[in-house]
Structure 1
């Protein structure tokens, strides 16, 4: 009788182990994939590698950024109009990333510009370095965790005037390294922003609002793109964070 109870208890223990393993396997198999089909942001992107360092307000890497006063003047001169049609839009009409010579393209050029201690392989790919995503003030050491954001998104540009441009001008816009149009940021914030204007999305780090609004206005003014009424109102409020 004692021997039978011992085997019975062992059988229960083994059964419990298999049951728990089975539950874990089912749970792993049913984890949802990203709904938008984009790659998942890695753990280092979600936690950062020492974010919160207070560097989000730094705009030293952005070329051609105006002062707050210059941006206010440029904003006042922009055409105010409703968004145009998205008819005919395609990202393919804004060719990127263009070659920048020496095996480098626009993406790799921005990664090198916005990072520190960046090392490249013989194909110009960033294999190491340090970057701070100014939108959320998080730090990274893996280039794959970063996206290159178009300050004024391609679709927004299309709706505000770029639909009438030549393909060559749209290529220039999508690869512009001379104005504050491109910057390396966390993949999470870039994909959260999408093609939204500042009246719909602002950087999570409010410390960057001043720089963001100055850059946005500068790009729209340089390319003579229109703004909506609410876009202009929001940009005015964001410029107010710059102080006098």
Structure 2
């Protein structure tokens, strides 16, 4: 899958309940994304389009509550999980930039300098989990929106190695992977929203939309506790809509 950096299209869109929904609409001050990013779940592969191929029908997509209801229900099973079952941070397009650096380049508010072997210096990023601005790439982690262990529990244990690798390096949707402070990523670890939410209140609805879209994109399930938490948390996000593109 060739990756075209920096020219995203909308795949998960946050909309104000009284405003029209379109990718160029102004985001809510209380639920904003980093300035360098278009919208949650934005596709990194398609250039110049304003809607994601394969997204649910309807101009505004699904409401967050409707999207949550579409996540398949199943018990979680951790048996056999190993992190190295998901080969990640590959250089898919042979440009010397690993998946980690591809995300950093795409999400930079101020672009870093790119040296030999894709070494990055300078630059600026906004971690939407905690509203912290970071000016050194080494202080950022790339978070798998749905952690690898959670994905394993929710269906990825049945995938072959190639599909797990594609999941772990998913550049096809902007919020499958997201650059955040190391502190918040390590606090989150492998927890689902019943156990962890971003510390910034402004991130709440964005994060729920990102999580739900990722689960739907990869056809991952949710257990009863996770679903109950998502439904409860979503009650405060009536103006949030979700679109997603099913993973190939």
Q: Give the TM-score category using the shorter length.
A: 0.7 to 0.9
8 Å Cα contact 1:56/1:134 also seen in 2: no
TM-score normalised by the chain length of structure 2: 0.71
Correspondence 1:102 to 2:69:
no
Count how many residue pairs are aligned between Structure 1 and Structure 2: 190
1:191 corresponds to which of 186, 190, 197: 186
Q: Where in structure 1 are there 5+ consecutive unaligned residues?
A: 1-53
Q: Map 1:140-159 onto structure 2 (within 5 A).
A: 140-159=134-153
Residue 132 of structure 1: which of 116, 126, 132 is its match? 126
- For 1:195-215, what per-residue CA distance to the aligned partner results, in whole angstroms no more than 9, with x for missing partners? 000000000011111111111
Q: Is 1:202 equivalent to 2:197 in the alignment?
A: yes
Q: Tell me if structure 1 keeps the 8 A contact 2:109–2:125.
A: yes
In the alignment, the residues of structure 1 paired with residue 126 and residue 235 of structure 2 have an alpha-carbon distance, to the nearest angstrom, of 24
What is residue 217 of structure 2 aligned with on the other side? 222
Greater per-residue helix proportion? 1
Contact 1:153–1:195 (CA<8 Å) still a contact in 2?
A: yes
**What is the CA–CA distance in structure 1 between the aligned matches of 2:218 and 2:125, rounded to whole Å?**
29
Per the alignment, residue 156 of structure 2 pairs with 162
| 1-structure distance, mates of 2:39, 2:217 | 19
Counterpart check, 1:79 vs 2:72 = yes
Local SS of the residue matching 2:221? coil
Q: C-alpha distance in 2, partners of 1:122/1:95?
A: 24
- Confirm or deny: 8 A CA contact 1:71 1:218 kept in the other structure: no
Structure (1 or 2) with the larger CA radius of gyration: 1
CA root-mean-square deviation = 2.0
Mapped to 1, the partners of 2:30 and 2:103 lie a distance apart of 18
In structure 1, the residue corresponding to 2:216 is in which secondary structure? helix
Partner SS for 2:62? helix
User: Structure 1 segments of 4 or more deviating over 4 A?
Assistant: 65-68
Q: Partners of 1:243 and 1:212 in 2: how far apart?
A: 14
Give the SS at the match of 1:209: helix
Q: Does 1:235 align with 2:230?
A: yes
In the alignment, is the contact (CA less than 8 A) between 1:149 and 1:183 conserved in 2? yes
**5+ residue gaps, structure 2:** 1-28, 44-54, 240-248
